[in-house]
Amino acid sequence: MRLLKSHTVLALLGVLGLFVIALGCSNDGGNGSGDSNDNGGDTNNGSDTGKPDDSDTGKNNGSDTGKPDDSGRDTNSDSVPSGPVDLETACNSSWGVYDAEFGVCWRRGEVFKDTWYQALEACDDLVLGGHSDWILPTRQDFVNLLGGCDDDVLQMRSGYCDTCFGNVDSRCNSLFSFAPTWTHIPRGWTSETVKDRDDVAWKSNVQIAGQLKDMNIFFTCLRRVK
């Protein structure tokens, strides 16, 4: 009887030993070498530099180019604000009137008079102040210069804006208050053709309206100041 009990105890101990050995092998296979794996939060996965990236610290980590990324989150931008305009050369007051709000230089002096076709050519050929990039103003250039335009003008129809000469409080008059007569104030042809009328272009002369292109009316030129 005692012998049977001894054999039973030995058998149970053997089974328990096998269970412990199997459990230990299972744990070793779960973590490899015992180090925490990459999914556990270790940033050094073999190919990692060990340095925090921009998303961790929000700072330039040394490999950053300094240019904003596609998400626009990087603030270390290469953009440089443009400097002030050199009016001495870009729009000298002896031959130009500078409109700082819209970055244009209007030709100073008495306006010309010719057809629309000749006006386009005259501005294109003009060399003044050492610049050859003079153009005929657009309709919007006159809207910007005059200010106070009614809804018809803003909706690309004929209409009225503020006047530019005399005892008036207008944006244009503040820029051209020196003008001796109304013939020294921008007016006349624009570079734009009226929609569905190839023979008619927009003009600014008291009213912003259409005018047959083969008529001789006033015009002036301007240049974009960059």
Residue at 199 is within a domain: yes
Structural contact between residues 206 and 217, judged by C-beta atoms closer than 8 angstroms: no
pTM for this structure? 0.63
Structural domain including 196 reads: 99-224
């008059």: which residue's tokens?
Answer: 173
79 in any annotated domain: no
Question: Among 31-40, 82-91, 160-169, which stretch is predicted with the lowest mean pLDDT?
Answer: 31-40
- Whether pLDDT at 132 is above 70: yes
pLDDT digits (tens, 9 = 90+) for 194-210: 999 999 999 999 899 99
Residue 111 within any structural domain of the chain: yes
Please indicate, yes or no, if residue 194 is contained in any of the structural domains: yes
Q: Total domain count for the chain?
A: 1
Does any domain span residue 140? yes
Q: What pLDDT does 166 receive?
A: 79
21 domain-assigned: no
In a domain, 1, yes or no: no
For the segment 36-76, what is each residue's pLDDT rounded down to a tens digit?
444 444 444 444 444 444 444 444 444 444 444 444 444 33
Report yes or no on 36 lying in a domain. Answer: no
